[in-house]
């Protein structure tokens, strides 16, 4: 009887050790049913969590306690030395209380932020994202998505749900058209894309718009009466009507195809850059208008009388 009991105890102990060893040797499929843990398949993601003291067991075993993740309100995966590029953010869903996320210049192709509903700030620049759904991130204030692989405006979804969004950066992507419907948005960066068309009618509180280095032949900002800064150099604009934009203070419209231009209604303008428009010789101003900073070609003049 004693021998049988000893054998039974030995067998139980052996199975327990094997189970623990399996978890610690990356056979995480045996452990992922444990509701206390979150699966972290990307070792570089887990290394960052260990280095920052978030993953409390301190070993690479492709899992983290849910309780560890739920304590985090600010997740910055760019703080420490480069241990390797993160390509998989599986496990991010467990960080349900984060308000800040930074994972820049990594190898991330997809991201699911649907469980991170408290986020107000995201830095996802310099990755390989082609699409993103922000429909659950209604608390967003700032989103930096520049230098990714976005080509289709329709694959950036949920922006209209972010009713607190102030600043959106989509520069250095491959967008050919863009339309935004968000009343809270104040700053829009979409420089260095391939934009042919842009529609900002649904963002009537825009104050700063940066659209340098695109392919725009036309643009309409008549409904964006709060605009103060408009940087739209390096496009193909032949005309641009800014009559309604009376709050405009900074206008950069160099390197376009302007043939005529009128700033006589922009009496708050303090900085105008309009050189490198080879077919533009006269910029219309109102009588007595003074613009402190003007960058223009020698062949251009400011005048109250310009021939149409």
Question: Residue 233: which pLDDT band, with cuts at 50, 70 and 90?
Answer: very high
Question: Tell me, what's the pLDDT at 32?
Answer: 44
What gap in Å lies between CA 34 and CA 12, rounded to an integer? 20
What gap in Å lies between CA 115 and CA 136, rounded to an integer? 8
pLDDT at 28 over 60: no
With respect to residue 124, please indicate whether it lies within any of the assigned structural domains.
yes
- In CATH, what number is assigned to the domain containing residue 116? 3.80.10.10
Work out the number of other CB atoms within 10 angstroms of the CB of residue 167. Answer: 16
With respect to residue 299, please indicate whether it lies within any of the assigned structural domains.
yes
How many angstroms separate the Cα of 228 from the Cα of each of 140, 145, 189? 23, 23, 14
Cβ(140)–Cβ(162) below 8 Å: yes
Average pLDDT estimate for 249-275: 98
With respect to residue 163, please indicate whether it lies within any of the assigned structural domains.
yes
Question: Tell me, what's the pLDDT at 33?
Answer: 44
pLDDT at 52 over 80: yes
With respect to residue 27, please indicate whether it lies within any of the assigned structural domains.
no
Question: Tell me, what's the pLDDT at 303?
Answer: 97
Question: Residue 70: which pLDDT band, with cuts at 50, 70 and 90?
Answer: very high
Question: Residue 81: which pLDDT band, with cuts at 50, 70 and 90?
Answer: low
How many angstroms separate the Cα of 133 from the Cα of each of 31, 117, 293? 30, 12, 42
Helices and strands (DSSP H and E) totals, the chain:
3, 20
With respect to residue 21, please indicate whether it lies within any of the assigned structural domains.
no
Domain hosting 279: range is: 65-303
Question: Tell me, what's the pLDDT at 80?
Answer: 64
With respect to residue 15, please indicate whether it lies within any of the assigned structural domains.
no
CB-facing half-sphere around the CA of 210: CA atoms within 13 A: 14
CA 106 centroid distance within chain:
14
What total of structural domains would you count in the chain? 1
Q: What is the DSSP string of 214-255?
A: S--S----TT-TT--EEE--SS--S----TT-TT--EEE--S
Question: Residue 24: which pLDDT band, with cuts at 50, 70 and 90?
Answer: very low
Question: Tell me, what's the pLDDT at 243?
Answer: 97
Question: Tell me, what's the pLDDT at 82?
Answer: 63
What gap in Å lies between CA 119 and CA 132, rounded to an integer? 14
pLDDT at 14 over 60: no
pTM of the model: 0.88
With respect to residue 126, please indicate whether it lies within any of the assigned structural domains.
yes
pLDDT, averaged across the chain:
90
Residues 141-193: tens digit of each pLDDT: 999 999 999 999 999 999 999 999 999 999 999 999 999 999 999 999 999 99
Question: Which residue shows structure tokens 């993953």?
Answer: 55
Average pLDDT estimate for 8-35: 43
272 has which bridge partners? 251, 294
Cα angle at 39 between 37 and 42, to 5 degrees? 140
């Amino acid at each position: 009887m004693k021998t049988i009991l000893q054998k039974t105890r030995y067998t139980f102990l052996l199975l327990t050790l094997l189970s623990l060893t399996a978890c610690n040797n990356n056979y995480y499929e045996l452990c992922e049913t444990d509701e206390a843990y979150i699966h972290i398949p990307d070792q570089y993601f887990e290394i960052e969590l260990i280095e920052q003291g978030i993953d409390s067991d301190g070993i690479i075993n492709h899992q983290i306690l849910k309780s560890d993740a739920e304590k985090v309100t600010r997740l910055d995966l760019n703080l420490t030395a480069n241990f390797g590029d993160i390509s998989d953010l599986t496990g991010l869903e467990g960080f349900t209380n984060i308000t800040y996320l930074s994972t820049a210049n990594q190898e991330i192709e997809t991201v699911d932020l649907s469980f991170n509903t408290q986020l107000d700030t995201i830095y996802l620049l310099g990755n390989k994202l082609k699409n993103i759904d922000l429909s659950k991130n209604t608390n967003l204030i700032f989103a930096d998505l520049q230098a990714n692989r976005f080509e289709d405006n329709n694959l950036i979804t949920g922006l209209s749900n972010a009713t607190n969004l102030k600043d959106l950066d989509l520069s250095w992507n491959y967008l050919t058209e863009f339309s935004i419907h968000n009343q809270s948005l104040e700053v829009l960066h979409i420089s260095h894309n391939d934009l042919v068309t842009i529609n900002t009618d649904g963002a009537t509180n825009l104050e700063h718009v940066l659209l340098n280095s695109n392919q725009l032949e036309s643009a309409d900002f008549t409904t964006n009466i709060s605009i103060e800064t408009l940087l739209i150099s390096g496009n193909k604009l032949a005309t641009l009507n800014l009559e309604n934009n009376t709050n405009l203070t900074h206008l950069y419209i160099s390197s376009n195809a302007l043939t005529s231009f009128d700033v006589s209604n922009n009496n708050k303008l303090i900085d105008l850059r309009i050189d490198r428009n080879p077919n533009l010789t006269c910029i219309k101003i109102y009588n007595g208008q003074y613009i402190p900073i003007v960058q223009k070609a020698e062949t251009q003049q400011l005048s109250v009388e310009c021939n149409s």
